Amino acid sequence: MEAYPVFQGLRRTHYIRTFGDYVELLWDNKVTHYLWSGELGFRTLGNSNFLKAVYEDPMPLHLELRENFLEKRLVKAQEQLGRVLEGKTVMADLSGGKDSTAQLILLDRLREKIRFNLIAVYVHMPYLEPLENISFAERVAERIGVPFYYKEADRGMIRYFLQRDSLPKRGDRWCTYLKSKALREARKELKADFEAKGDRMLESGKRMKKLKNMAIKTSFIHGKTLNLIYDFSAAETAKIVKEHHLVHPHYLQGIPRVSCRFCPYRGLYEIQASKNQEVEDEGFLEDSARTHFRRYYSMIVPWDIFWELSLWRFQPSLARLRLQEMRNVDYGEFVSITDVRRMLASMWEVL
């Protein structure tokens, strides 16, 4: 995950990001990692096999907002897309997070210059995703003035995978396949000519590689995919949604991204900070995880530790490394969940 600036008052003091089960603080001349457990993160004592396994290189740190970046993007988009989008239908993927919301705002503004149909599409993942995300996404579309199309991923298939494979894990994200399938179905149902995705290069190295062709060509379209924000920074998309009063409440709670509560790529801090988010039938999810635990993890760790550390996110070999990492920390130096919530939320207070 990209790093967020941390502010005290109006002064930026450092940056923060999460990856794996670590919270990383980046100062001008040092980097400190804290391994999360419960309500606290404990400073790590050095490199380790688990850190190497889950480490993600930090993306370039971007804080400064480009002058008139939104208006300049609209002018450039009109120049490139005027003839392409005229009379067409654009389906905009909407999660309610800052990037998809910022993209929807730009597309709506672009309709003032180009005549095209715009529909916001929200795909809900039963069992895995907070129920409150549905109403927030609908409120975003209503506030912007765009038709809202609700699509639920195949509930029967989700139950099937949960019973067969348990919760999604790193390297086996069956949930991504089902969500992508639902988006393809929605596009067909709506007869959409283009699908707008709010992915950004600075989110991760994978996104950087995926979107580099757009950057090289300074183009907003790749095939039938449209993206107006691919080169925006987190601060720029955050500023857009804040100016339109459409900040997802999870951000203000110190949760760095809007996603499924049971996402295997969420770190333990994020899972702990999100534990009060209501999902559908959490008991069913726990039963599914317990069955999988008995098959593959019971020889490694007791159930209560397995569930407390959300080890369902990892293959058994990586789960072993995660347990060993508990010996690689200084329990006398730590940050609290309150500290980290405040740091991650501070950007939204300043922009």
Query: 23 and 38, same structural domain?
Result: yes
CATH number at residue 166: 3.40.50.620
Query: 144 and 27, same structural domain?
Result: no
- Distance, in Å, from the CA atom of 298 to the CA atom of 300, rounded to the nearest integer, reads 5
The number of folded domains in the chain is 2
Query: 183 and 229, same structural domain?
Result: yes
Domain that holds residue 49: 4-62+253-350
Read off the pTM. 0.94
Query: 195 and 322, same structural domain?
Result: no
Query: 22 and 132, same structural domain?
Result: no
Query: 225 and 263, same structural domain?
Result: no
- Distance, in Å, from the CA atom of 129 to the CA atom of 277, rounded to the nearest integer, reads 9
Query: 82 and 169, same structural domain?
Result: yes
Q: Which two tokens stand for residue 255?
A: 């949760």
Query: 57 and 73, same structural domain?
Result: no
- Distance, in Å, from the CA atom of 158 to the CA atom of 285, rounded to the nearest integer, reads 11
| Domain closes at, from 224, 250, 276 | 250
Contact 113, 121 (CB under 8 A): no
Query: 227 and 140, same structural domain?
Result: yes
- Distance, in Å, from the CA atom of 185 to the CA atom of 187, rounded to the nearest integer, reads 5
Query: 131 and 240, same structural domain?
Result: yes
Per-residue pLDDT, 201: 86
For residue 253, what are the contacts with CB-CB under 8 A and spacing of at least 6? 273, 341, 345
Q: What is the pLDDT along the chain (351 residues), one digit of tens a residue?
A: 788 999 998 899 999 999 999 999 999 889 999 999 999 999 999 899 999 999 988 776 666 788 889 999 999 999 999 999 999 999 999 999 999 999 999 999 999 999 999 999 999 999 999 999 999 999 999 999 999 999 999 999 999 999 999 999 998 999 999 999 999 999 999 999 999 999 998 887 777 777 777 766 678 998 999 999 999 999 999 999 999 999 999 999 999 999 999 999 999 999 999 999 999 999 999 999 999 999 999 999 999 999 999 999 999 999 999 999 999 999 999 999 999 999 999 999 998
Per-residue pLDDT, 215: 66
- Distance, in Å, from the CA atom of 326 to the CA atom of 329, rounded to the nearest integer, reads 6
| Domain closes at, from 250, 284, 313 | 250
| Domain closes at, from 206, 232, 250 | 250
Query: 221 and 146, same structural domain?
Result: yes
Query: 114 and 89, same structural domain?
Result: yes
Amino acid at 302: P
Contact 119, 191 (CB under 8 A): no
